[in-house]
Amino acid sequence: MSRAPQQPTDPLRWCAALALAFWLGCLPYLTAVPHPYFDEVHYLPAARELLMLGEFTNREHPLVGKELIALGIALFGDNPVGWRLLPTLFGALALFAAMRALWFGTLSRFATLAYGLLLATGFHLFIHARIAMLDIFYLAFLSLAAWQFTAAIRQPEEGRWRLVLAGMALGLAMGAKWNALAVAMLPGLAFLAARALAGRRRLFFSRRGAPVPGITLVEAALWLGAVPLAVYAASFAPGFFFRVHPISEGLVFHHQFMLSQQEQVLKAHPYQSTWEQWVLNARSIWYLYEPVAGVQRGIMLIGNPLTMLLGLPALAWCAWHGVLRRHWTALAVALVYAVSLGFWIVASKPVQFYYHYALPSMALLAALALVCDALWQNGWRKSALAPLLGSVLVFGWFYPIISGAPLVGPDSFAVWTWLESWR
């Protein structure tokens, strides 16, 4: 008799442990800067106005992220803990959900945990989980949507409620920041493409075939199309009740106003950059570099210098294997990167910044995890582990300048600014 095929063991507890360790690692120096810094100066006043329903400020951005910042203030006070504790929790959620998405996409323990380690030490998630900005919220909701969508494909008996959750998460992601818009369309388009390629004679009403048997294309359009739009629209409800500058002419007019604000020509900013610089990790943003209560501190946003570059050939590997060998998870990762980066290549927003690369960087690190997994499965164990160990070591070296830890003096930045463009 032949042996039964080996069943992979779900690393759920390891995923939870890694997310917990990441959250605990976000806490040191979280409140070392007692005043708002970088873009907190925009979002914290907007969150305070939300709590009072006073003046509708920062109207160029949707409301979910600011609603969550306001929730943190309501729960923990209008202080550094109230501003930044909730983002740390959403950072841990983003890490956990992203790992779960890759697990259901690959059923590989190594790929899943490798991705978690790369993502936790990739700089972007860590830095944005420790500041009251909008980015960590849309990243967390998109990760949650990816988890539920891939789980629905892997476990179709749970497909319906998982697609409902995916749709709700997509709506919240768009409601947190418009960066999520292009990627939020991918699950619905993927469902349509998979069902069309299955060759079903009753395309719209057949319950058979990939990606989720038992769900018709019409029903999928409800969960992955109508529900996200409804959740997104509902997130603007508080905007109608501000005492000053409420939404008074409807959501369509308000979105025209938001778009005009996003596309207005701004004066040049010293930290602005282009997508080519993002890909090469060639331009930093200094979120903070100043003495705080007599102690020099700094927070520099760049990607992990090792994995941001190693991930580029990994993306090419994913695209190749996805197209020619039908490695669907690899293809999905390459598509998410291409769409999330392409959004900014064609966007009419004249001034752009490196923090827009946070979402593409998550896909890039997923690609690197898949390549490491391929090396591991083919017996190249040391080669598979080398990028993971290197990522941890580079993260440890840069930790003082990405965490706000005490520095020696005003010239300390020179230790980490390897490129002139990082200064």
| Residue-by-residue pLDDT tens, the chain, 423 positions | 566 556 688 999 999 999 999 999 999 999 999 999 999 999 999 999 999 999 999 999 999 999 999 999 999 999 999 999 999 999 999 999 999 999 999 999 999 999 999 999 999 999 999 999 999 999 999 999 999 999 999 999 999 999 999 999 999 999 999 999 999 999 999 999 998 887 666 788 888 888 999 999 999 999 999 999 999 999 999 999 999 999 998 999 998 988 888 877 667 777 888 999 999 999 999 999 999 989 999 999 999 999 999 999 999 999 999 999 889 999 999 999 999 999 999 887 778 889 999 999 999 999 999 999 999 999 999 999 999 999 999 999 999 999 999 999 899 999 999 998 898
120 assigned to some structural domain: yes
Residue 8: its pLDDT value, please?
Answer: 81
Encoded tokens for 209: 């075939």
Residue 325: its pLDDT value, please?
Answer: 87
287 assigned to some structural domain: yes
Cα-Cα-Cα-Cα torsion 357, 132, 233, 219, nearest 10 degrees, comes to 60
Are the beta carbons of 173 and 362 closer than 8 angstroms? no
Number of domains in the chain: 1
Report d(CA 232, CA 212) in Å as an integer.
24
Whether the CA torsion 384, 386, 392, 394 is positive or negative: it is: negative
413 assigned to some structural domain: yes
243 assigned to some structural domain: yes
Report d(CA 217, CA 228) in Å as an integer.
16
Report d(CA 43, CA 41) in Å as an integer.
6
392 assigned to some structural domain: yes
Alpha carbons within 13 A on the beta-carbon side of 373? 26
Domain containing residue 275? 26-133+236-422
138 assigned to some structural domain: no
Encoded tokens for 404: 């706000």
272 assigned to some structural domain: yes
270 assigned to some structural domain: yes
